Structure 1
């Protein structure tokens, strides 16, 4: 597949998550709530998660922001549901590395999240893509600390 076709495919995946976000909303019985914003561009996220027995059993988000920010939140919630805390935090680190243009394990299937790898070429947009992941990381690290 040529680079242009791959780039277009990634754009389509991002726009699909933006226009049809997965896990949009709030968990009434969520035991973790994290609010974060990116003052540089105005993106904000309200993330609620259920963590039971060291595992993320559910995650939802509300917020507003650019297509990259909201698509990333949708992808992140899809990716971490059903994962244990350690794995979710590892995925967050891998995503952060990807956003910085670093290599990540080839044997790891990140699914739709891989569509965001092109963001690394636009430093001003990296904070948009990482906002939801940073919120998730903060919430889970706080959970582990207690």
Structure 2
């Protein structure tokens, strides 16, 4: 099996399985939610996160769209749930770099960090598809900003 065929299989498997799919309530004091729409094609996602200390404790999402957008959200959910916020930020930046690489592979360290997300390397050759792959990652970034805001407000004596 060629590397490209293997990558296609990873994307199709994640599109079918949808790790983290199901928009459940997150019972953590520091949480965020983001709804993102790719106006170019109509793909959309609502993604919720729960933060516990410096850990991305929970990711839940519901979405619709092409296999690339849905698989990408599944991969990020599998990769990042239970990881530190620092790891989530670093992985986000690595995935964004992969999308900007025009189909070229990244260095070994970032590809190891991305795991199954490296399967999206070919998407970088198609500018219209990059938005599909980044949709869930943008929702994640936005939801984490909200959760961190709730965390800061709680730390300053405000309400979360």
Flag whether TM exceeds 0.5 (same fold): yes
1:7 to 1, 4, 10: 4
Residues 76 and 113 of structure 1 are in contact (CA less than 8 Å); yes or no, is this contact kept in structure 2?
A: yes
Distance 1:143 1:51 in 2: 7
Unaligned runs of 5+ in 2: 153-160
When residues 142 and 105 of structure 1 are mapped into structure 2, their CA distance, relative to the original with a 3 A threshold, is farther
1:119 to 103, 116, 123: 123
- Which consecutive segments of 4 or more residues in structure 1 shift more than 4 A? none
After superposition, the C-alpha distances for 1:84-120 in whole angstroms (9 at most, x for unaligned) are 1121011111100100117634124121111011100
Distance 1:64 1:15 in 2: 14
TM-score by length of 2: 0.83
Distance 2:11 2:130 in 1: 14
RMSD: 1.6
2:106 to 100, 104, 108: 104
TM-score by length of 1: 0.91
Distance 1:27 1:56 in 2: 16
Q: 1:51 aligned to 2:48?
A: no
Query: Size of the alignment, in residue pairs?
Result: 143
Distance 2:147 2:17 in 1: 30
Residues 89 and 140 of structure 1 are in contact (CA less than 8 Å); yes or no, is this contact kept in structure 2?
A: no
After superposition, the C-alpha distances for 1:24-78 in whole angstroms (9 at most, x for unaligned) are 1012125221111111100100101111112111112101010000000000111
Deviates more, 1:118-127 or 1:136-145: 136-145
Deviates more, 1:44-53 or 1:106-115: 106-115
